[in-house]
Amino acid sequence: MPGPHLLLVVVVAVCLIKTASGFANGKVSQACGDMIPQHGHDSSSKPAPYNITLDNPTFSPGDHITVTLLVVPTSGSISFKGFLIEARDAENPDGPAVGSFSLLNPSESQLLHCGHTQGSAVSHTSKSKKTEIQAVWEAPKNPPAGVQFLATVVQKYKVYWVQIPGPVVSLNGATGVPPPNPTPTTTTTAVTTTLSALTRPFSSEGCGRSKSCLRDPVGCDPGRDPLCFFLSFTPEERTVLFELSGPADGYLSFALSLDKWMGNDDVYLCVRDGDSVDINAAYVSGRTHPELASENVLSDTAWQLADGVIQCRFRRDILLPRKIESRFSLDQSYFLFIAHGRAEDGVIYRHDRQPLISTHQTVITGPPENLAGSRSPLLIKFHGVFMLVAWMTTVTTGVIIARYFKHDWPETRLFGRRLWFQVHRALMTLTVLLTCVGFSLPFIYRGGWSRHAGSHPYLGCTVMALSFIQPIMALLRPAADSSRRYIFNWMHLGTGTIARVLAVVAIFLGIQQQALLLPGPWSTGVLAGCVVWGVLVDLLLEFHSKVVIVSRFKKIVLAVFLMGNVGFLSVLLNTIRNV
């Protein structure tokens, strides 16, 4: 019956096809009061290249005034992505919003509920580039004597202006209307860094002798290998010099951690922003977005961008004042994480790959070491090993024994049962046991369901369920001479075939997961070769089962299959060991 074989071939072909898959919505009501974006950066100190204009300098209760936010003509058409417009009492600009708005550009603007009035502010709907936006303001029934329009404008994530003052409109008949307020100022603590080009190239020279290094691949040199992820730290009298290098589209970072889990970690970010790199200290509280430090703790910062590689260098004091929270002292031992990923306008996104994590804790100011690391947790490695052995070797061998050696050992018995059946049952029992243990390991590691693993865990759950159904079905099978035996045979074959096909798909998806990303594309080719090898042997034995074939030939084919299968499996297991 060649149907299952063809299914496996189709599955291999489908699994070799790569798939690809692809947030600023303006709902910023939490910023209604101070109109400050919660971006973790300070407002720009440069003059705002934007202006607010009105079509009428006076108003009466219920009147409508068209408000326009636009780029200053002499600024070179610097577009903006986000905005927040409010009208406030000119004598109390820190008070609540006054009046309400209606939209003229509903595709680019939306109304917000600030204070007790619906539609009392206008904001963007997306981060598309804009040069002008309009809205209509309606005066309330009991307006103040003067109303001033304010706007916060975001050019890009880290470049924005807060409460840009617009004109003051006067209530008809009112007297003593105050003049427009000067540009409001806010006092904040800036995180500043002095950025300069690197004057000394990165090198692995001195690793293990004068500085500690964590590298991926092991032993790589950032001065020669552009694919080298490199972190070094050199203790000095009162500071530690850090160097970080690696290929990254948006950001490169490392963290000091008390364990091998992300959360409550001391993080250092090198984020590409256009043609420059921002170097900042941050803190991760739980599995959340890093929060930038409120005070500058880094000195002598320098960076370089070249051929897709981000390199940054800085110093940090070994001990910091107690008032600076969330910073770890560098005279203690920590696990080291290196992560990289995308960034847009200085905003970082989830890392592209599983972070490189040092295998053991090290004292940052301790003796120089050549550190080893892994991107795959040990439990996930065992998960991959158990699933590969179960579904690439034991289940395939067990199926071959049952299908093609049943009649070769008709009377040979082991523990009172036919030899082929005992071997088949032992291999299938081992498959179920390996699957059960392997299935549980990711849940133990994650502490629950993984939200970023795509369809892989769903397929794994299905395979696990079918693995349980198969032995239960076998225990309840009718006698060999029963008229219903054919029903069991077809159900047993169908369930087993579906389980094998889904397991193969799950394994192909599994070796592309962040937690166990095998180097490609050759590792995918080795896995495909292992599957195709089993299919070819199965087809060969299927063909020869239609003709007279000597038992010795089948034994030779089985031996050759096992040698090839173990060869493919050894390569994959060794690759997992080195990830």
pTM over 0.85: no
Kindly indicate whether the domain formed by 378-578 is annotated with CATH number 2.60.40. Answer: no
Read off the pLDDT of residues 60-118 as tens digits, 9 standing for 90 and up. Answer: 999 999 999 999 876 665 789 899 999 999 999 888 999 999 999 888 999 998 877 88
- Encoded tokens for 287: 């599995």
Type and span of the H or E element at 525: helix 522-544
Nearest-angstrom CA–CA distance, 310 and 254: 13
Write down the pLDDT at residue 551. Answer: 67
Record: fold of 29-171:
Immunoglobulin-like (2.60.40)
Q: With 0-12 CB in 10 A as exposed, 13-18 as middle and 19+ as buried, what is 434?
A: buried
* Residue type, position 15, single letter: C
Per-residue model confidence as pLDDT tens digits over 221-264 = 998 998 999 999 999 999 999 999 999 989 999 999 998 887 88
- What pLDDT was estimated at residue 20? 34
Q: Mention every residue, 6+ apart, whose C-beta is less than 8 A from residue 549.
A: none
> Which residues make up the CATH 1.20.120 domain(s) of the chain?
378-578
- In the chain, which residues have pLDDT < 50? 1-2, 6, 9-12, 14-23, 180-196
Measured CA to CA, the distance from residue 299 to residue 195 in angstroms comes to 9
Q: Whose CA is closest to 167, among 33, 274, 263, 65?
A: 65
**Would you identify the CATH topology of the domain 212-374?**
Immunoglobulin-like (2.60.40)
* The pLDDT of residue 194: 38
Query: What's the mean pLDDT when you consider all of the chain?
Result: 84
Q: How would you write 163-222 as a 3-class SS string?
A: EEEEEEEEECCCCCCCCCCCCCCCCCCCCCCCCCECCCCCCCCCECCCEEEEEECCCCCC
What is the phi/psi pair of residue 446, to 5°?
-80, -25
Where are the CATH 2.60.40.4060 domain residues in the chain? 29-171
Of 321, 334, 153, which is closest to residue 254 (Cα–Cα)? 334
Burial 64-98, CB ≥16 within 10 A → b, else e? ebebbbebeeeeeeeebbbbbbbbbbbbebeeebb
- Tell me where in the chain the CATH 2.60.40.1210 domain(s) lie: 212-374
